[in-house]
Structure 1
Amino acid sequence: MRIAMTEPRLTDSELPELFRTADTASLQGQRVYIGATKIRLSLAVAAAVFAAVSIRVGDRWDLAALFVACAFIATLMVEFWLLTRNPERDWYDGRALAESIKTLSWRYSIGAAPFILSSPDMEAERQFIQEVQKLIDEAPADSIVISDPVRVTEQMRSLRKKDLELRKRVYLESRIQDQLEWYSSKAKFNSRRARSWRLALISIEGTGIIVALLKAGGLINFDLPGVLAALLGAGSAWFAVRQYEALARAYKFAANDLSTVHSRLQCVEEEDVWARESADAEEAISREHTMWRASRGALSA
């Protein structure tokens, strides 16, 4: 059953402003880090290509060697910039804060523990703000700039005031089903990418064997094996950065977990049971994100 347009929803745009601030910081950090990684690996391959040739200018200078030096200098500059700018930290910390704010917002809005409906409205809001403040205090001060006061949105208040049946329907469709579809699609996407990259790396390795034998037999003079070795190293590094296989497994696990959660929540009819079960559902969603951060070597928020 689809939610009517007149019924309350809770989209990302209706969460506290802090969620969007952290989400934007995370996406920006991810774009910058991935972009810099692409540049760094491309420069490494370019250096291998120029190292394999010789472009003489007069009797002294080798233009190809100068290009190799320039490529290494550029790579070094990118490395220093990544070290000082640290966009990877913005990516992880921003995502941790954004997802934590989202979880607290949904808990408050549907009456999940610890924001049970038996608590007075002002007390529940005060508790929500206190929980958010704890997250802010734990977040690195220079990763995310907060420009808007922490507050409960009108959409969150509106949903919280509805009866259990409506809150359950909204939560199952707009939160659980949405997350289930997202994890399922991402699991399939990462599985396809993992297979494609594995085949690509195997192709490079096979080609490397052939050209190495051809060079050993004197059939080619160009250092193509060295170029392929650099290309293989860059491809392997990119494959490790993207973690397609690990993410595919984690997303499959999360999708299966949420499928069970969805079925269990449909049977809830008492308010106290709902407060407990919906809180457990949010724990299941948070658990996947914690695993993602751990797989990337980041500290849990």
Structure 2
Amino acid sequence: MTSTYQLGDEHLPSPFKSADTASLRGQALYVRATKLRLSFAVLAAVLAAMTFQVSDTWDLAGLCVALAFLATLLTEVWLLVAKPERAWYDGRAFAESIKTLSWRYAVAAQPFSLQSSESENERHFIAEVSKIISEAPSDSIAVTAPVHITERMREIRRSPLSVRRNAYLECRIEDQLKWYAGKADFNRSRAGRWRVTLIVIEGAGITAAILKAGGAIPFDLPGIMAALLGAGSAWFAVRQYESLGRAYSFAANDLSIVHARLQSIDSDNDWEREAADAEEAISREHTMWRASRGAS
């Protein structure tokens, strides 16, 4: 299927770019800080199993354990104060809200009907975007450019239904379908790998405990394995591979049904309603994602 026009992220209004950038930055910071916090916790357990006596009083390994715990504490405090996950979730919600409004306008889906005047539709679009901006947290999302309807959005809207339908199916539905399907495969694969990894760590912990009980190893290897298991389990919980894999599979299946239904529409009245329903389905999947992350 080939469409005359492509409506990529670069063709969306500038507030989308601001929110998308804020979300990606928040995600990167949150993931990086979580990795650091868990790594420092494991490092503390490793150092605690060792002894580096530098005098009759001081144990260098013990001091390093204290420093590792301090680094863990500082990272945790930074996460609590900076809340990068909030910028991640709120930024993504903001960006997706702008994107769905832009697609609704570009392909003439409700509430931007072709039966209404263009000036009325433009005022409605700008008002809706302005409402989203006003509700966005100013400490995590900064919109520095004015709200406007891009020329590519206008070009698609002025096109015949067949062109709008093809553009929507190819650049919106098929794009989202491929993204959800790819993410479903990725998360299922990672879930399986992490399950195996945790089982291996648990088995190694049992072996280490038996060896320690028999005096075969002089240091606290079981404690190190327990710390590794705790960190691995925490990371597995943070990434939510299994639940996301199921959610993305459901979304991909839902979008495949939407795609099939939209292909046969040949009247503007039906299109306005069905395309709006498709955007509701996409928005619903994102709302479920935010709920799974604990975002309000």
Following TM superposition, by how much is the alpha carbon of 1:74 offset from its aligned partner in structure 2, in angstroms? 0.9
State which of 106, 110, 119 in structure 2 corresponds to 1:109. 106
2:33 is the alignment partner of 1:29: no
Structure 2 counterpart of 1:119, one-letter code: S
Is the aligned partner of 1:160 residue 2:152?
A: no
Shift of 1:8: 2.0
The unaligned stretches of length 5 or more in structure 1 are none
Q: Aligned to 1:60, what secondary structure does the other structure show?
A: coil
Other structure's SS at 2:141 match: coil
The reply on whether 1:238 has 2:219 as its aligned counterpart is no
Partner of 1:207: 204
What is the TM-score normalised by the length of structure 1?
0.97
Match of 1:90 in 2: 87
SS of equivalent residue, structure 1 residue 61: coil
Aligned to 2:284: 287
Equivalent residue, structure 2, for 1:68: 65
Question: What amino acid sits opposite 1:138 in the alignment?
Answer: E
Identify the residue that residue 195 of structure 1 maps to in structure 2.
192
Query: Of residues 36, 45, 55 in structure 2, which corresponds to 1:39?
Result: 36
CA distance in 2, matches of 1:154, 1:58: 74
Q: CA–CA distance in 2 between the matches of 1:281 and 1:93?
A: 22
Q: Distance in 1 between matches of 2:75 and 2:126?
A: 40
Q: In structure 2, what is the equivalent of residue 247 of structure 1?
A: 244
Asked if 1:2 is matched to 2:9, the reply is no
Residue by residue, what CA displacement relative to the aligned partner does 1:206-251 show, whole Å, maximum 9, x if unpaired? 1101110111111111100000000000000001111111110110
1:57 paired with 2:54, answer yes
Aligned to 1:258: 255
Amino acid in structure 2 at the alignment position of 1:154: E
Following the alignment from structure 1 to structure 2, what is the Cα–Cα distance between the partners of residues 41 and 97? Answer: 30
The amino acid across from 2:278 in the alignment is A
**AA at the equivalent of 1:136:** I
Of 223, 237, 241, the match for 1:226: 223
Q: TM-score, normalised by structure 2?
A: 0.99
Alignment match, 1:146: 143
Inter-partner Cα distance in structure 2 for 1:17 and 1:246:
33
2:125 maps to 128
Q: Distance in 2 between matches of 1:245 and 1:117?
A: 43
C-alpha separation between the residues in 2 aligned to 1:138 and 1:245? 32
Percent of residue pairs bearing the same amino acid type? 64
What whole-Å deviation, never above 9, does each CA across 1:95-134 have from its counterpart, x for those lacking one?
0000000000000000000011111111101000111111
Residues in 1 aligned to 2:79 and 2:207: alpha-carbon distance in whole angstroms? 37
Letter aligned with residue 236 of structure 1: S
- 1:270-292 per-position Cα deviation (integer Å, ceiling 9, x unaligned): 11110000001001111111001
**For residue 77 of structure 1, what is the aligned residue in structure 2?**
74
One-letter amino acid matched to 1:57: V
* Cα distance in 1, alignment partners of residues 124 and 2 from structure 2: 32
Amino acid in structure 2 at the alignment position of 1:117: L
- Structure 2: stretches of 5+ with no match in the other structure: none
Q: Which amino acid aligns with 2:244?
A: L
What is the SS of the residue equivalent to 2:80?
helix
One-letter identity of the residue aligned with 2:13: P
